[in-house]
Amino acid sequence: MTDTWISLLISGSILLVGFLASLSFDRFRIPDFLVLIALGIGLGHIPVSPFGSTMVNSLQPVLPAFTTLTLAFILFEGGLTFRLGVAIKEQGVLLAHIVIAMALTMVVVWFLGEQVLGLDNLTALVLGAAFAGPSATIAVSFATRLEIRQRASGAIVLEGVLTNVIAVVLVVYLLNYGTSLSAGTMLPYIVRTAMAASGAFAIGTVWHFASQRLASHRFVAIATVAWAIVVYAMFEGFVGKNGAVAAFSFGVAVGFTWESERHDDRVKNHGGMLKTFQSEISFALRTFFFVYLGLLITFDNVTPDVVLAAVLISVGILVARVPSSLWLAHAYVLTKGETRAVIGNVARGMTDVILVLLALESGVLPPVDTSAIIPTLTLVVIFSAAVSASILIAASRVGFEPDHSSKS
């Protein structure tokens, strides 16, 4: 049994490494998840307790709770940052782009999962759903750093946030109903999802008016986070495992209502405190899971087929979004640089990791597929980030300034 002080030492050290990794990104543009995954691989191959396999086994009992909690925080944070940011007539084009890009991506990943990795049909579909959309966190990060117009950055961020929610809905459906697409399974699931979204939005709106009166209180931010967890748990347990959608909808309600109260400094400060507090928690959970992902990697499982599949999936994700991205760029009158930035929104990240781990923990997928999924997931996260970075560098060289003939 591991001594408590050793566990605390390891946990604290991992968080500090996560902090250093974030600094490396700010200064050298080295993605922090690369450092964290490398740390996990290193810790997982130290043949001395409490490291190595002992470390993985000790984390197994708490992993389900951590997975669901992290999913709730990711979706709640996405809800807080959710802004339409585009005109009503352009929303249809953006939604069509999202649906087309996600559908083509799912087909590509499903096909490669079955044909190259030899995965079970359901496993390949779940993998396709998990990889269907870009990482919201990475999308928000690079969209705010590039000197692109609000129209383009808003589309990039909105795509990242919405695709994360849709991916969760798809994965949860597949884990509960498999490949069945009958009205008898889809309609009740859609109804329960809508109930969760509307109910959580109502709770979020009510909480806004309550928290507005308590905006000067010290602990309103933590109470809001507690409400997000309660909302997740309620709708996860009582409304057909729709906790993630509920957490997102609750965050949307809270985020929009705070945004509408710009004249009230207390409410503005409260909203800023919550987002800061939320981001700190997300940082800790994100650090844990990327290190854990590294712990699961064994070099025996990184076969030529896995590497080939990861490369093809990363390229396929890019190719699948080109047609609808070009259509979106035409409708939005984007510059060449902005168009490349939209196309380059291919990086996969934390949501993909959580959804795949959630699927593996469910016990629904064949255990034999685990050995191929974990290294494939890790390599796709790394390769897709490299593809995204290279395209964004090319976009920066082209520039984001509109031509004289372009509309702003």
Domain containing 68: what range?
A: 63-282+308-398
Label each residue of the chain as H, E or C.
CCCHHHHHHHHHHHHHHHHHHHHHHHHHCCCHHHHHHHHHHHHHCCCCCCCCHHHHHHHHHHHHHHHHHHHHHHHHHHHHHCCCCCCHHHHHHHHHHHHHHHHHHHHHHHHHHHHCCCCCHHHHHHHHHHCCCCCHHHHHHHHHHCCCCHHHHHHHHHHHHHHHHHHHHHHHHHHHHCCCCCHHHHHHHHHHHHHHHHHHHHHHHHHHHHHHHCCCCCCHHHHHHHHHHHHHHHHHHHCCCCHHHHHHHHHHHHHHHHHCCCCCHHHHHHHHHHHHHHHHHHHHHHHHHHHHHHHHCCHHHCCHHHHHHHHHHHHHHHHHHHHHHHHHHHHHCCCHHHHHHHHCCCCCCHHHHHHHHHHHHHCCCCHHHHHHHHHHHHHHHHHHHHHHHHHHHHHHHHCCCCCCCCCC
Residue 15 lies in a domain: no
Which range of 38-42, 97-101, 300-304 scores highest in mean pLDDT? It is 97-101
Q: Shortest CA distance to 161 belongs to which of 262, 286, 259, 245?
A: 245
The enclosing domain of 147 has a CATH number of: 1.20.1530
Domain tally, the chain: 1
Query: pLDDT value at position 408?
Result: 40
Residue 45 lies in a domain: no
pLDDT band at 404 (very low <50, low <70, confident <90, very high): very low
Query: pLDDT value at position 265?
Result: 53
Contact 304, 116 (CB under 8 A): no
Residue 162 lies in a domain: yes
Query: pLDDT value at position 85?
Result: 57
Query: pLDDT value at position 111?
Result: 95
For the ranges 127-141, 308-322, 367-381, the lowest mean pLDDT is seen at 127-141
Q: What is the tens place of the pLDDT at every residue in 223-272?
A: 888 999 999 999 988 877 888 899 999 998 887 754 444 545 555 555 56
Q: What is the tens place of the pLDDT at every residue in 170-223?
A: 998 898 888 777 777 888 888 989 999 999 999 999 988 887 777 667 778 888
Residue 166 lies in a domain: yes
Q: What is the tens place of the pLDDT at every residue in 1-16?
A: 556 676 677 778 888 8
Residue 205 lies in a domain: yes
- How far is it, in rounded angstroms, from Cα 25 to Cα 31? 5
- N residues, the chain: 408
Q: What is the tens place of the pLDDT at every residue in 36-68?
A: 888 888 888 887 777 777 777 777 777 788 888
Residue 32 lies in a domain: no
CA angle, 313 as apex, 307 and 373 as ends, to 5°?
A: 60
Residue 227 lies in a domain: yes
Q: What is the tens place of the pLDDT at every residue in 212-231?
A: 777 667 778 888 889 999 99
For the ranges 86-95, 200-209, 237-246, 306-315, the lowest mean pLDDT is seen at 86-95
Q: What is the tens place of the pLDDT at every residue in 329-343?
A: 988 888 888 888 899
Residue 16 lies in a domain: no
The tokens of 269 are what? 């400060």
